[in-house]
Amino acid sequence: MKFVGIVVVIWLVIGTLAGLQRHYYGGDVTCAKAGTVAATIAAGPLNYVGANPRVHCSVPQPSR
């Protein structure tokens, strides 16, 4: 069980580093940006073998 925990932590750290290299942690936070950051962290080492997760979302505009 400890081995699985260590692998998960290393996986998430690598994903966080990928987000840092892509400059995802600065600027305004939007729905799409938050989703892209989460997907990048979850993808972990896959970012370095060609995965480039992007999330597109739209928030409904308020009625007038």
Residue ranges per structural domain of the chain: 2-49
Q: How confident is the model at residue 9 (pLDDT cuts 50, 70, 90)?
A: very high
Least confident of 6-10, 30-34, 60-64: 60-64
Rounded CA-CA distance 31/44 in Å is 20
Whole-number average pLDDT of the chain: 87
- Under 8 Å between Cβ of 18 and 25: no
Q: Pull the structure tokens for residue 22.
A: 């892509």
* Distance between CA atoms of residues 64 and 39, nearest Å: 34
| pTM of the shown model | 0.76
User: 51 near 63, Cβ under 8 Å?
Assistant: no
Quick: pLDDT tens for 32-56.
888 889 998 998 888 888 887 888 8
